[in-house]
Amino acid sequence: MRAFVVAVFGFLYLPIALVVLFSFNAGQHASEFTGFSVQWYGKALSNPFLVEALKNSLFIATTSALLAAVCGTGAALGLQRVGARTRALFDALLGAAIVVPGVVIGISTLVALVQLFAVLNPFLASLWPTDQPPRLALGYGSIIAAHGLFSMALVTMIVGTRLGSLDRNLVEASSDLYATPLTTFRSIVLPQIMPAVIAGFLLAFTFSFDDFIIAFFVAGAQTTLPIYVFASIRRGVTPEINAIATIVLAASVLLVLLAQWLLGRRKPSP
C-alpha cells in the first residue's frame, strides 16, 4: 500500500522535478545532466518571441482575472438576494461550468464568437462613416473574454462561500447605526469578503496564465506563453523550455499558495 502511494506521487512529481532540474542543466540535451548553469534562463529571457508571448500572457491573465473578480463578486452578491430555488440552480450551473472540459469550452466559445462576429461585423460596417470599419476578430479580446467568463464562475463560487459565512447581524448592525446600504457595503461587507475576492483574482490569474486549451481555440493570431511552449516543443524539448516551465511553475505555485492563505485566514467572526 505504501509502495503504491510512493509510486503515485513519484509519477506525479518526478517529471516536474526533472523539468526543474534540467532547467539548470549546462548541456544542450534534455537527456543528460552535465553540470549546473542558469544559462537557459538567460537564453529564454533574451528570446524576443518568448518575451512577447510572456507579455501577452501576463496582460491577458491580469485583465481577465480583474474582469472575473469584479463580475464574479457582483454575481455572488446578486445571488444572495434571489430565492432558494433559483440559488440552488445557479450554484449547480456554476459547479457545472467549472467541471466542463476545456476542449468543450474552447470549441463552444470559438463557435459562439465566430457566429457573433459574423452578425456584428456587417452591422458595424453599416454604421461606420468611413470605408474602413473596425473588424471584430479573434485575438486578445477573445482570449480575455473566454478566460474571464470561465474564471468568473470560480470567483462567484469562492466569494459566494465567503458571503454565506458572513454574519447577517453585521449588516443589520451597520444599518442600525445609520449607514446607508452603500456605506454598509463599502465599510462592512467589502472588507469582510476582500480576502475571497483577492484569492479569486489570484486563482483566475493562475488559470489564465497556465491555460492552453481554451486559448488555443480562440487566440487567432495571438501567441500566449503556453501556446508558444506547445509550438516550440515540436522542435524538440530544449533546456530553454524547461526554464520557462520552471518559471511558470514557480509563479503558479506562489499565487495558489497566496490564495489558499488568504482563504484560510481568520473567518469573519461568528
Partner 1 sequence: MTAVPDIEFRAVTKRYGAVTAVSGIDLAIPPSAFVALLGPSGCGKTTCLRMIGGFEQPSEGQVLIRGRDMAGTPPYRRPVNMVFQQYALFPHLDVEDNISYGLRQARPRLSSREISLKAGEALAMVQLAGYGRRKIHELSGGQQQRVALARALVNKPAVLLLDEPLAALDKKLRTDMQIELQNLQREIGITFVLVTHDQEEALSMSDFVCVMNGGRVVQLGQPSEIYDEPADLFVADFVGKTNLLSGKVAAFSGDLVDVALADGTVISARKRVPLSRGEAVSVSLRPESLSLAALGGGSLKGVVRNRIFLGSTAEYAIEVPGIGSLLAKADHLIGQGNLFKPGEPVAIGFAAGAPLAFPVANNSGTNQREDQHVEILS
Contact residues toward partner 1 (CB under 8 A) are: 167, 169-170, 172-180, 183, 187-188, 191-192, 266, 268-270
Q: How many CA atoms lie within 13 A of 244 on its CB side?
A: 26
Of 133 and 268, CB closest to partner 1: 268
102 neighbors 213 (Cβ within 8 angstroms): yes
CA distance 258 to 242: 24
CB 142 within 8 A of CB 217: no
d(CA 140, CA 220): 8
Least separation in angstroms between CB 233 and partner 1: 48
86 versus 183: smaller Cβ distance to partner 1 = 183
CB of 260 to partner 1, least distance (A): 21
- If the CB atoms of residues 168 and 235 are measured against partner 1, the closer one turns out to be 168
CB of 264 to partner 1, least distance (A): 16
CB of 166 to partner 1, least distance (A): 10
Which residues lie below 8 Å from residue 203, measured CB to CB, with a gap of 6+? Answer: 151, 154, 155, 158, 255, 256, 259
- When the beta carbons of 173 and 250 are compared against partner 1, the nearer one is 173
